[in-house]
Amino acid sequence: MIVVLLGAPGSGKGTQSKRLAGKYGFQHLATGDLFRAEMAEGTPLGLKAQGYVNAGRLVPDGVVTEMVAARLKPGARFLLDGFPRNIDQARALGRLLAASGSAVDLVCSLVLPKAEAVRRMTSRRVCASCGEVYNVLSRPPKAEGVCDRCGGKVVQRADDAEATAVKRLSVFEDLTAPLAVYYKAEGVFHEIDAARSPDEVEAALSAVLSSARGGRRPC
Ligand code: AMP
């Protein structure tokens, strides 16, 4: 089963993906996390991606699609977080899945007003060691700047600074939001109000997932 979680940066895709992956046994494939890990290690892929990521722009489609193709395994349950990000990536994903006899089964779109997305992004902090996510307004670490889970340093992602956060939102509106129309036409699209608490959003997502068990085959 292949589930795609769509949503503006800051809408809670990462948080919800981790919760749902644990609950339903999905492999969580988060392209943003993969790029950040490659960048931290200074790999050739990380070096290729970092200029785009730090500027809040999309990494070229070919680079992203190749990275995803190397990780998707036929027949496995995947939760895709941050991919696809535009129509060409959605088409590439469709071709990749069709090659192994599958298709996107469900697309859940987390909907959040723009001002709230900016507020959430600029107040987000992450542990530089384990990736645990905090929020200085709603969920600060117990000791300032120190991860509750591993003691690592809690920092702001470079691309969560306000100017880059605003740029990422405009990229989302121009390139990613049109995916709603694309997936509505495929009959697999669901909208979820993400302006609620993480538990409420998780419950809404779980209801959609529970009603859509099984797998769709390509036409
Ligand atoms: P995220 O953590 O999903 O907000 O992604 C952080 C950054 O990684 C984005 O702003 C892009 O620069 C890059 N990125 C992540 N996923 C993709 C994708 N599917 N296509 C292109 N760039 C991506």
Nearest alpha carbon, ligand 1 atom 15? 32
Closest by alpha carbon to 52, among 42, 41, 63? 63
| Side chain identity at residue 30, one-letter code | A
Q: State in Å: Cα 158 to ligand 1 middle.
A: 13
Model confidence at 214, pLDDT cuts 50, 70, 90, reads: low
Q: Does 196 qualify as catalytic in the annotation?
A: no
Q: Long-range contacts made by residues 25-30, C-beta under 8 angstroms, separation at least 24?
A: 25/77, 26/1, 26/77, 26/78, 26/79, 27/73, 27/76, 27/77, 27/78, 27/79, 28/79, 28/81, 29/68, 29/71, 29/72, 29/78, 29/79, 29/80, 29/81, 29/83, 30/81, 30/82
pLDDT tens digit sequence for 2-46 = 999 999 999 999 999 999 999 999 999 999 999 999 999 999 999
The mean pLDDT of 103-127, rounded to a whole number, is 95
Q: State in Å: Cα 41 to ligand 1 middle.
A: 17
Say whether pLDDT at 189 is over 70.
yes
* Structural domain spans, the chain: 2-212
Sign of CA dihedral 204, 177, 22, 50: negative
With beta carbons less than 8 A apart as the criterion, state whether 57 and 178 touch. Answer: no
Q: Which CATH number does the domain 2-212 belong to among 3.40.30.10, 3.40.50.300, 3.30.70.920, 3.30.70.580?
A: 3.40.50.300
- Specify the DSSP element, H or E, that contains 20: helix 13-24
Task: Report the predicted TM-score, pTM, of the whole model to 2 decimal places.
Answer: 0.91
